[in-house]
Protein backbone atom coordinates (compact mmCIF):
# COMPACT_ATOMS: atom_id res chain seq x y z
CA UNK A 1 0.00 0.00 0.00
CA UNK A 2 1.38 3.45 -0.84
CA UNK A 3 1.36 6.35 1.59
CA UNK A 4 -1.64 8.08 0.00
CA UNK A 5 -3.76 4.93 0.23
CA UNK A 6 -2.63 4.43 3.82
CA UNK A 7 -3.80 7.95 4.70
CA UNK A 8 -7.09 7.76 2.81
CA UNK A 9 -7.92 4.39 4.40
CA UNK A 10 -6.62 5.05 7.93
CA UNK A 11 -9.24 4.31 10.56
CA UNK A 12 -11.79 3.49 7.87
CA UNK A 13 -11.28 6.87 6.22
CA UNK A 14 -11.76 8.81 9.48
CA UNK A 15 -8.29 10.37 9.39
CA UNK A 16 -8.84 11.87 5.93
CA UNK A 17 -12.38 12.99 6.82
CA UNK A 18 -11.16 14.71 9.99
CA UNK A 19 -8.24 16.34 8.16
CA UNK A 20 -10.66 17.80 5.64
CA UNK A 21 -13.18 18.79 8.25
CA UNK A 22 -10.46 20.70 10.12
CA UNK A 23 -10.12 23.06 7.13
CA UNK A 24 -13.73 22.98 5.89
CA UNK A 25 -13.48 20.49 3.00
CA UNK A 26 -15.93 17.79 1.98
CA UNK A 27 -14.79 14.18 1.78
CA UNK A 28 -14.37 14.34 -2.02
CA UNK A 29 -12.49 17.64 -1.81
CA UNK A 30 -10.22 16.20 0.88
CA UNK A 31 -9.45 13.14 -1.21
CA UNK A 32 -8.61 15.36 -4.18
CA UNK A 33 -6.49 17.70 -2.05
CA UNK A 34 -4.54 14.88 -0.41
CA UNK A 35 -4.02 13.25 -3.81
CA UNK A 36 -2.35 16.47 -4.94
CA UNK A 37 -0.37 17.22 -1.76
CA UNK A 38 0.91 13.84 -0.60
CA UNK A 39 3.02 13.07 -3.71
CA UNK A 40 4.95 16.32 -3.21
CA UNK A 41 5.54 15.40 0.44
CA UNK A 42 6.61 11.89 -0.57
CA UNK A 43 9.04 13.35 -3.10
CA UNK A 44 10.52 15.59 -0.40
CA UNK A 45 10.91 12.62 1.92
CA UNK A 46 12.51 10.56 -0.84
CA UNK A 47 14.92 13.40 -1.59
CA UNK A 48 15.80 13.75 2.10
CA UNK A 49 16.35 10.02 2.60
CA UNK A 50 18.71 9.91 -0.35
CA UNK A 51 21.03 12.41 1.37
CA UNK A 52 23.80 11.13 3.66
CA UNK A 53 22.22 10.34 7.03
CA UNK A 54 18.76 11.15 5.70
CA UNK A 55 17.19 7.74 6.19
CA UNK A 56 18.61 7.48 9.71
CA UNK A 57 17.25 10.94 10.50
CA UNK A 58 13.79 9.98 9.22
CA UNK A 59 13.79 6.73 11.20
CA UNK A 60 14.81 8.64 14.32
CA UNK A 61 11.99 11.14 13.84
CA UNK A 62 9.51 8.34 13.25
CA UNK A 63 10.52 6.38 16.32
CA UNK A 64 10.67 9.35 18.67
CA UNK A 65 8.05 11.76 17.37
CA UNK A 66 4.82 10.10 18.45
CA UNK A 67 3.42 10.76 14.98
CA UNK A 68 1.31 7.60 14.85
CA UNK A 69 -1.21 9.31 17.16
CA UNK A 70 -2.43 11.37 14.20
CA UNK A 71 -3.53 8.21 12.45
CA UNK A 72 -4.64 6.34 15.58
CA UNK A 73 -6.81 9.19 16.87
CA UNK A 74 -8.07 11.35 14.00
CA UNK A 75 -9.91 13.64 16.44
CA UNK A 76 -6.50 15.20 17.21
CA UNK A 77 -6.18 16.53 13.65
CA UNK A 78 -8.12 19.70 14.47
CA UNK A 79 -5.74 20.68 17.27
CA UNK A 80 -3.18 23.49 16.97
CA UNK A 81 -0.40 21.08 18.02
CA UNK A 82 -0.95 19.14 14.79
CA UNK A 83 -0.49 22.29 12.70
CA UNK A 84 2.64 23.27 14.65
CA UNK A 85 4.10 19.78 14.34
CA UNK A 86 3.09 19.66 10.66
CA UNK A 87 4.80 22.98 9.96
CA UNK A 88 7.99 21.67 11.57
CA UNK A 89 7.71 18.51 9.44
CA UNK A 90 7.24 20.66 6.33
CA UNK A 91 10.39 22.58 7.21
CA UNK A 92 12.34 19.33 7.20
CA UNK A 93 10.65 17.78 4.17
CA UNK A 94 10.33 20.78 1.85
CA UNK A 95 12.62 23.40 3.28
CA UNK A 96 11.30 26.94 3.38
CA UNK A 97 7.82 28.40 3.32
CA UNK A 98 8.26 29.38 -0.33
CA UNK A 99 8.39 25.72 -1.34
CA UNK A 100 5.34 24.92 0.83
CA UNK A 101 3.47 27.78 -0.84
CA UNK A 102 4.49 26.49 -4.26
CA UNK A 103 3.21 23.00 -3.34
CA UNK A 104 -0.11 24.49 -2.22
CA UNK A 105 -0.32 26.59 -5.39
CA UNK A 106 0.36 23.61 -7.61
CA UNK A 107 -2.24 21.55 -5.72
CA UNK A 108 -4.76 24.39 -6.10
CA UNK A 109 -4.19 24.42 -9.85
CA UNK A 110 -4.66 20.62 -10.00
CA UNK A 111 -7.78 20.46 -7.83
CA UNK A 112 -9.55 23.77 -8.32
CA UNK A 113 -9.59 24.22 -4.53
CA UNK A 114 -8.49 27.48 -2.98
CA UNK A 115 -4.79 27.89 -2.34
CA UNK A 116 -5.51 29.32 1.12
CA UNK A 117 -7.36 26.15 2.17
CA UNK A 118 -4.59 23.96 0.79
CA UNK A 119 -2.01 25.97 2.74
CA UNK A 120 -4.02 25.17 5.88
CA UNK A 121 -4.31 21.48 4.96
CA UNK A 122 -0.62 21.05 4.09
CA UNK A 123 0.70 20.81 7.69
CA UNK A 124 -2.11 18.41 8.59
CA UNK A 125 -1.22 16.31 5.54
CA UNK A 126 2.45 16.34 6.59
CA UNK A 127 1.45 15.10 10.04
CA UNK A 128 -0.61 12.32 8.46
CA UNK A 129 2.28 11.31 6.22
CA UNK A 130 4.60 11.00 9.20
CA UNK A 131 1.89 9.23 11.18
CA UNK A 132 1.36 6.69 8.42
CA UNK A 133 5.08 6.12 8.07
CA UNK A 134 5.43 5.73 11.84
CA UNK A 135 2.65 3.12 11.81
CA UNK A 136 4.47 1.30 9.00
CA UNK A 137 7.74 1.43 10.93
CA UNK A 138 6.14 -0.29 13.90
CA UNK A 139 5.15 -3.29 11.79
CA UNK A 140 8.00 -4.31 9.45
CA UNK A 141 11.43 -5.48 10.40
CA UNK A 142 14.29 -3.04 10.04
CA UNK A 143 15.28 -4.75 6.81
CA UNK A 144 11.88 -4.03 5.28
CA UNK A 145 12.14 -0.34 6.16
CA UNK A 146 15.04 0.12 3.80
CA UNK A 147 14.06 -2.71 1.52
CA UNK A 148 13.21 -2.63 -2.13
CA UNK A 149 10.09 -0.66 -3.02
CA UNK A 150 8.29 -3.76 -4.21
CA UNK A 151 8.93 -5.37 -0.84
CA UNK A 152 7.06 -2.77 1.19
CA UNK A 153 8.38 -0.83 4.12
CA UNK A 154 8.61 2.92 4.41
CA UNK A 155 10.38 3.49 1.11
CA UNK A 156 7.92 1.14 -0.55
CA UNK A 157 5.07 3.38 0.62
CA UNK A 158 6.71 6.46 -0.90
CA UNK A 159 7.98 5.04 -4.19
CA UNK A 160 4.65 4.56 -6.04
CA UNK A 161 3.83 8.22 -5.56
CA UNK A 162 7.21 9.42 -6.70
CA UNK A 163 7.82 7.02 -9.63
CA UNK A 164 4.81 8.39 -11.47
CA UNK A 165 5.85 7.21 -14.93
CA UNK A 166 6.32 3.67 -13.54
CA UNK A 167 9.70 3.19 -15.20
CA UNK A 168 11.25 1.68 -12.08
CA UNK A 169 13.40 4.75 -11.42
CA UNK A 170 12.43 7.62 -9.17
CA UNK A 171 15.39 9.78 -10.23
CA UNK A 172 13.76 11.31 -13.30
CA UNK A 173 10.53 11.92 -11.41
CA UNK A 174 12.31 13.54 -8.44
CA UNK A 175 14.31 15.79 -10.73
CA UNK A 176 11.15 16.80 -12.57
CA UNK A 177 9.29 17.54 -9.34
CA UNK A 178 12.23 19.45 -7.91
CA UNK A 179 12.44 21.49 -11.09
CA UNK A 180 8.75 22.35 -10.83
CA UNK A 181 9.01 23.30 -7.15
CA UNK A 182 12.19 25.32 -7.36
CA UNK A 183 12.05 26.48 -10.96
CA UNK A 184 8.63 28.03 -11.00
CA UNK A 185 5.30 26.94 -12.31
**pLDDT (tens digit, 9 = 90+) per residue, 108-147?**
999 999 999 999 999 999 999 999 988 887 654 333 333 3
pLDDT value of position 141:
37
Cβ-based neighbour number of residue 64 at 10 Å? 9
Mean residue pLDDT of the chain comes to 79
14 pLDDT band, cuts 50/70/90, is: very high
**pLDDT (tens digit, 9 = 90+) per residue, 166-175?**
555 544 554 4
Instruction: Determine the Cα–Cα distance for residues 162 and 164; give it in Å rounded to an integer.
Output: 5
**pLDDT (tens digit, 9 = 90+) per residue, 138-154?**
654 333 333 333 345 55
Instruction: Determine the Cα–Cα distance for residues 122 and 101; give it in Å rounded to an integer.
Output: 9
| Of 52, 33, 43, 54, the residue nearest 2 (C-alpha) | 43
Domain coordinates of the chain in residue numbers? 3-183
CA 40-179-130 angle, to 5 degrees, is: 20
Please tell me the least confidently modeled range out of 50-59, 63-72, 133-142: 133-142
- What residues contact 94, with CB distance under 8 A and at least 6 apart? 40, 41, 44, 100, 103, 181
Amino acid sequence: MNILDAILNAQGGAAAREAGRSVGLSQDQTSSALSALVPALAAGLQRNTSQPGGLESLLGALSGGGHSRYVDDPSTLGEQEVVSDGNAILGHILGGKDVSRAVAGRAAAQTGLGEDVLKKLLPVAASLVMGSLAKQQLGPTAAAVGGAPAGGGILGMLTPLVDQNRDGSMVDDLLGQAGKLFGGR
